[in-house]
Amino acid sequence: MKTKQSSVKVLDVTLTNNDDFVTFFDRNYIVFQNHLIVLHGESNAFIEKYLNDKKLNFMVNAEFKKARPTKEIQAQETQTPKELPKKEEPPVLEHKTKTTLKVLDKLVRSGQELNIESDLLLLNRVNSGGKININGNLIITEIVEGSIRCNGDFMMLKSSPKANIVFHEVEVDNKYLTERLNRVELKNNEITITPVLKETNWG
Amino acid sequence: MGIVIAVISGKGGVGKTTTTANVGVGIALNDKKCVVVDFDIGQRNLDMILGLENRVVFDMVQVMDGEVGLKQALIKSKISPNLSFLAASQTKDKSVLNSEKILKLINDLKADFDYVILDAPAGIETGYEHTIEFADRAIIVVNPEVSSIRDADRAIGILDSKSQKVKDGEEVFKYLIINRINPKMVKSGEMLSSEDILDILNIPLVGKIPEDTAIIDASNQGKPIILNKKSEAGQAYERIAGRLCGNEIDMQDVENPKSGILHKFKGMFK
């Protein structure tokens, strides 16, 4: 017998009407591509076809033993998950990020942790084991192998397969990042990733 | 005044002590006065690799405590009159070290020698911090594998924040040695290439050492591999020692050894 344990992220959805469901998933289906979507309530053929078309994994009326408190899950059912942190952010961003920019050409080595309130332009690598926590905007022109926690309006990164990147408490999957710089930003409560500088070679 | 070079790696077992011994011998053979100091208190090994284990009478801790004079504790190697050795204490542990005593010892050594080479203990604990505290330069030894690179990266981070030179606003100059390169595995992509390692660590390379089984025997016998002129690793250490003494020596491509007919022929008789 061959077994492999993989961790699965689960999104619980309680169905009320089809339109709400479609508007929510039209905006956010990219985020949930690696998730298992568990539908509660009465499922119907329309919703199942929609999920199949988007290539999302789903189950109907399954119960899981949840490690997370139910409160948080309820919040996710009704709102997009990104709305939660957003409430606290704006005051920090307003007066700090727009006035200061820090430029660093320093390797962030394993075990080093940068805690930054302003914006940061980093012209060097973040090595495995290094960490950046930032409340402003972030641009890194080299590869990242450590972890990034960014709560700014946007960040720009290259494809970084070994990195752990979290933007507004949502993990950014490397498969949406291209080799060149990508702009990751929060627009209308959803995270959009767009490649930038298509013609410019930064190499 | 001499130059203090700390040999560090972060991870254990990558070849710090072997490198210290060979680089020390190499520098001495380049006609520079050199002392190698074992800072791995409680776990000394350098005496064995240098073949001096039966000549250790006094150790570094006794010198620092003023029980014996420095001249008494220094052991002259038979390999070269330029090479001296100061043993670590095998019975004490790292807690006996303190900055004042170390500074005095290092200043005394700097007055007498051109090069003072310190063999750091593995890890990043106080023993390591004391080793790098007064170093002017550092040799970072890594193996081409991810855990060694990450540990070295961490060790460099500590070096850049805790050494006295950095606190004074200067920089500790760093050299990288990539040890145990297996050319076949690099070619097949199983082992990290030097370019990748240099990208990650971003410090200048001083030499690459191919994997060589003769090193084990050399260590057991107490004859540093650098004395074995036929060994590729020995030749690599010789070049490194030359570079550290300021000689311009071209980098050899140990990852792509020559594969001529003569070389293959030689390989058959190995």
Overall number of domains in chain B: 1
Rounded Cα distance, A161 and A177, in Å:
9
CB contact under 8 A, B154 and A128: no
**Domain containing residue B165:** 3-268
Query: Residue A61 pLDDT more than 50?
Result: yes
Confidence of residue A90 (pLDDT cuts 50, 70, 90): very low
Rounded Cα distance, B70 and B111, in Å:
12
> Which of B149, B157, B199 is opposite residue A112, by nearest beta carbon?
B157
Residue B213 region by backbone torsions, left for phi larger than 0, else alpha for psi between -120 and 50, else beta: alpha
**Residue A97 or B9, more confident:** B9
Rounded to 5 degrees, φ, ψ at A190 are -130, 155
Rounded Cα distance, B58 and B138, in Å:
26
Task: Compute how many other C-beta atoms are within 10 angstroms of the C-beta atom of residue A73.
Answer: 13
CB contact under 8 A, A110 and B157: yes
Which pLDDT value is given to residue A202?
55
Taking CA atoms, B263 is separated from B211, B232, B238, B244, B270, in Å, by 17, 13, 21, 29, 11
CB contact under 8 A, B199 and A125: yes
Taking the CA of residue B153 and the nearest CA in chain A, the distance in Å comes to 6
According to DSSP, residue A174 is labeled G
Taking CA atoms, B14 is separated from B7, B127, B172, in Å, by 11, 18, 22
pTM: 0.72
Query: Residue A68 pLDDT more than 50?
Result: no
Taking the CA of residue B88 and the nearest CA in chain A, the distance in Å comes to 29
Rounded Cα distance, A187 and B114, in Å:
63
Strands A164-167 and A170-171: antiparallel
B146 touches chain A (CB under 8 A): yes
Which pLDDT value is given to residue B42?
86
Q: CATH number for the domain including B225?
A: 3.40.50.300
Alpha helices, H only, A54-173? 70-78, 83-86, 89-96
How does pLDDT run across B115-145, given as a tens digit for each residue?
A: 999 999 999 999 999 999 999 999 999 999 9
Mutation for testing the B interface, residue in A108, A109, A162 having most B CBs under 10 Å: A109
Q: Which residue stretches of chain B have pLDDT < 50?
A: none
Nearest CA in chain A to B199: A125
Q: Does domain A102-195 have CATH number 2.160.20.70?
A: yes
Which pLDDT value is given to residue A52?
86
Which pLDDT value is given to residue A86?
45
Task: Compute how many other C-beta atoms are within 10 angstroms of the C-beta atom of residue B123.
Answer: 15
Sort out which chain A residues have CB atoms less than 8 A from B199's CB and list them: 125
| DSSP reduced 3-state for A26 | helix
- Could you tell me the residue ranges of all domains in chain A? 9-65, 102-195
Contact B103, B118 (CB under 8 A): no
The token duo for B259 is 């594969």
